[in-house]
A and B are shown apart, each in its own frame.
Chain A
């Protein structure tokens, strides 16, 4: 009798001990362009940012175990889709994050919704992700084409650039950016004189720039990114575009592009971003940690990589609150209910259509003489407050938004 009571007490004690270590496990996948023209915009730098987010989160939440993997979508929607399917189905990934390249992002967004997992877009731009293609499992974090169009486009039209010619990358992102910027230009009283679509990853822009010169538009809008933008601006310098009286509008330019162009070629370029490493002490401190984690010399984090850190932090907080990462729709709902707060983007919110809102900054590239240290690229010309920076909720045609 005493033996069986003792045995029962022992079993009860063991059962209690087990309940204490209630581990929540989460698996995160950084899906990015690791080897091609967007690799410095997201790429291994995004993986580094994710590692920092996980490390910082673990300090306050020791009972949440986060596993991280990364993969290369090579800018191909079919490869990106195949990886996303494999990660969500076979590798038990709960969250896919980053994904520069709007074509891939749109594909993965559908997959996440079908499988009830979560997808946080930091790298891709197409505003359709929170517009007609919005869904309950996708959050669009750092920036989008509407914000770029209305930031840079509006600013340039107001300062006299009222005729435009577009150089557009011929895929989802280029089309979206061209469409949103055309709308912004026309809304503010400008005119679009013409456009030309070039294949993604084009080397030589001389022919397209000649067409832009012939149009005599005051502003040549570059609706492309990464290597394409760099090649366009380099060719523009050669062909005397700026000397001939026309100006470039870099609709999507990252710090890595300015680094590759050099300040001599890029000076004076106007662009809009939502995060700049040298803007305040908090960003600078984080940049030092990122550079140590990234391990490659002379690189500076882009807003996309900062967005991965910020988005992942908010996601992990939501998972910790729900104590489970299994129901993607519920986690995203939790993310929309909780205001965001992190050292990089400060305070903000995630809207019903999945759009994360924060202020945007109108930046101008410095001349070489004005740059005091490596990475000192921009003047901050204006701050666009969060409620003006992004497309109004009702105008998006998102099925999740009623009315």
Chain B
């Protein structure tokens, strides 16, 4: 055992692992945002509220049908994704021809509405939701105690991130989608239903947010403002990674989780702001983000 900058090495490795776990969470959240912006050019400010809706859906599913965590992991994203489809069909599709900012304003307004309604009915202190039986407890790794649930979060996040990246970058469906965003008229001429693809993609991005929400419910406080606290950080992650890049969002999510974890050890009071400092530096040096495609 040796010391690095006054912190024992075992403690430091523990903090790095925790940073990685948090990073996997950021990656999962920023994935949905990157998909929606990268594919559809919509700045989805209601992402945080949809994440919150996923967690609340898990709670309500438990309350009203008795179904626990594992069914909720599938049902909640489908339900919330469906509301995303409704939003796209009835509200967002009219704004594609306009400036990005209109989409931002609309989704921001929706976020405020969802949060306000949730706070009205449930209050702000939060709702109880416990870790499922099968994932309780943890492993003593020697340098730290790793809860089983957190290990599951990393695994699920890696699977979902890799799966999404694979579908978009390596399958025909993903190719259609990428083509449709670059040149919708031409793709439509080939007989592909572009509006429906866009609707389903938005719904998928929202479902990803809700999936992250269900994963968060057992470990973070399920409250109406849980999304607004995280959404700013997630936007910073996506901006640093490059607004068009799926891979960029994933890698940046993990990387920033680790950096934030290290900050919490050496200078905890700044752990909120370090991500934005990095964002400012990255934007000065590479305005398109680390992996961004735009010139």
A residues near B (Cβ < 8 Å) are 35-41, 43, 170, 196-199, 201-204, 206-208, 210-211, 213-214, 226-227, 230-231, 234-235, 237-240, 244, 256-257, 259-262, 264-265, 296, 299
B14 at the interface (CB under 8 A from A): yes
With A208-B264, A240-B137 as known contacts, state yes or no: A230 contacts B150, CB within 8 Å. no
The complex places the Cα of A262 from the Cα of B59 at a distance, in Å, of 13
B272 at the interface (CB under 8 A from A): yes
Task: From the candidates B10, B147, B271, name the one contacting A238 in the complex (CB within 8 A).
Answer: B147
Q: Which of B259-273 contact A (CB under 8 A)?
A: 261, 264-265, 268-269, 271-272
Chain A residues closer than 8 Å to B137, beta-carbon distance: 240
Which A residue's beta carbon lies closest to that of B230? A203
Q: Is the CB of B145 within 8 A of A264?
A: no
The complex places the Cα of A1 from the Cα of B57 at a distance, in Å, of 86
The complex places the Cα of A96 from the Cα of B199 at a distance, in Å, of 50
Q: Is the CB of B22 within 8 A of A265?
A: no
Chain A residues closer than 8 Å to B144, beta-carbon distance: 210, 213
Which B residue's beta carbon lies closest to that of A204? B22
Chain A residues closer than 8 Å to B261, beta-carbon distance: 207
B15 at the interface (CB under 8 A from A): yes
Chain B residues closer than 8 Å to A260, beta-carbon distance: 125-128, 221, 223
Q: How far is the CB of B12 from chain A (nearest CB, A)?
A: 10
Which A residue's beta carbon lies closest to that of B224? A35
Q: How far is the CB of A213 from chain B (nearest CB, A)?
A: 7
The complex places the Cα of A196 from the Cα of B124 at a distance, in Å, of 26
B131 at the interface (CB under 8 A from A): yes
Chain A residues closer than 8 Å to B130, beta-carbon distance: 262, 264-265
Q: Is the CB of A240 within 8 A of B138?
A: yes
Task: From the candidates B8, B126, B127, B269, name the one contacting A214 in the complex (CB within 8 A).
Answer: B8
Chain A residues closer than 8 Å to B132, beta-carbon distance: none
Q: A-facing mask of B214-229, CB < 8 A → 1, else 0? A: 0000011101011001
Q: Is the CB of A206 within 8 A of B21?
A: yes
Chain B residues closer than 8 Å to A213, beta-carbon distance: 144-145
Chain B residues closer than 8 Å to A197, beta-carbon distance: 268-269
Chain B residues closer than 8 Å to A226, beta-carbon distance: 125
B123 at the interface (CB under 8 A from A): yes
**Which residue of A37, A38, A211, A260 has the most chain B CB atoms within 10 A of its CB atom?**
A260
Which B residue's beta carbon lies closest to that of A207? B264
Q: Is the CB of A262 within 8 A of B128?
A: yes
Q: Is the CB of A238 within 8 A of B125?
A: no
Q: How far is the CB of A225 from chain B (nearest CB, A)?
A: 11
With A227-B221, A231-B220, A260-B128 as known contacts, state yes or no: A199 contacts B150, CB within 8 Å. no
The complex places the Cα of A208 from the Cα of B272 at a distance, in Å, of 13
With A203-B230, A296-B121 as known contacts, state yes or no: A261 contacts B128, CB within 8 Å. yes
With A170-B269, A199-B271, A210-B144 as known contacts, state yes or no: A234 contacts B220, CB within 8 Å. yes
B11 at the interface (CB under 8 A from A): yes
Task: From the candidates A40, A206, A237, A239, name the one contacting B125 in the complex (CB within 8 A).
Answer: A40
Q: How far is the CB of B6 from chain A (nearest CB, A)?
A: 12
Q: Is the CB of B138 within 8 A of A239?
A: yes
A-B contact number at CB 8 A: 120
The complex places the Cα of A127 from the Cα of B75 at a distance, in Å, of 48
The complex places the Cα of A36 from the Cα of B226 at a distance, in Å, of 10
Chain B residues closer than 8 Å to A234, beta-carbon distance: 219-221
The complex places the Cα of A227 from the Cα of B225 at a distance, in Å, of 10
Counting chain B residues whose Cβ lies within 8 A of the other chain, the interface size class is 35 or more
Q: Is the CB of A199 within 8 A of B269?
A: yes
The complex places the Cα of A360 from the Cα of B15 at a distance, in Å, of 39
Q: Is the CB of B271 within 8 A of A203?
A: no
Q: Is the CB of B18 within 8 A of A203?
A: no
With A204-B22, A262-B130 as known contacts, state yes or no: A36 contacts B125, CB within 8 Å. no
The complex places the Cα of A240 from the Cα of B137 at a distance, in Å, of 7
Q: How far is the CB of A269 from chain B (nearest CB, A)?
A: 14
The complex places the Cα of A37 from the Cα of B126 at a distance, in Å, of 9
Q: How far is the CB of B244 from chain A (nearest CB, A)?
A: 27
Q: Is the CB of A240 within 8 A of B125?
A: no
The complex places the Cα of A230 from the Cα of B265 at a distance, in Å, of 21
Q: Is the CB of B22 within 8 A of A206?
A: yes
Q: Is the CB of B15 within 8 A of A210?
A: yes
The complex places the Cα of A201 from the Cα of B125 at a distance, in Å, of 12
Q: How far is the CB of B75 from chain A (nearest CB, A)?
A: 22
A–B pairs, 23, beta carbons within 8 Å: A36-B124, A37-B223, A39-B124, A40-B124, A170-B268, A197-B268, A197-B269, A201-B229, A210-B14, A210-B144, A227-B126, A230-B221, A231-B220, A234-B220, A238-B131, A238-B138, A238-B150, A240-B145, A256-B123, A260-B125, A260-B128, A260-B221, A262-B130
Chain B residues closer than 8 Å to A199, beta-carbon distance: 269, 271-272
Q: A-facing mask of B1-31, CB < 8 A → 1, else 0? A: 0000000101100110011011000000000
Q: Which of B85-127 contact A (CB under 8 A)?
A: 119-121, 123-127
B149 at the interface (CB under 8 A from A): yes
Which B residue's beta carbon lies closest to that of A41? B125
Q: Is the CB of B14 within 8 A of A37?
A: no
The complex places the Cα of A199 from the Cα of B271 at a distance, in Å, of 7
Which B residue's beta carbon lies closest to that of A263? B128
Q: Is the CB of A208 within 8 A of B124?
A: no
Q: Which of B268-294 contact A (CB under 8 A)?
A: 268-269, 271-272
Task: From the candidates A36, A202, A207, name the one contacting B15 in the complex (CB within 8 A).
Answer: A207
Chain B residues closer than 8 Å to A210, beta-carbon distance: 11, 14-15, 18, 144
Q: Is the CB of B271 within 8 A of A198?
A: yes
The 6 closest A-B pairs by CB, nearest first: A262-B128, A40-B125, A260-B126, A39-B124, A207-B264, A256-B125
Chain A residues closer than 8 Å to B10, beta-carbon distance: 214
Task: From the candidates B22, B127, B145, name the one contacting A244 in the complex (CB within 8 A).
Answer: B145
The complex places the Cα of A240 from the Cα of B150 at a distance, in Å, of 13
Which A residue's beta carbon lies closest to that of B136? A238
Q: Which of B216-260 contact A (CB under 8 A)?
A: 219-221, 223, 225-226, 229-230
Q: How far is the CB of A100 from chain B (nearest CB, A)?
A: 12
Task: From the candidates A170, A204, A237, A262, name the one contacting B220 in the complex (CB within 8 A).
Answer: A204
The complex places the Cα of A38 from the Cα of B219 at a distance, in Å, of 20
Which B residue's beta carbon lies closest to that of A206? B18
Chain A residues closer than 8 Å to B221, beta-carbon distance: 203, 227, 230-231, 234, 260
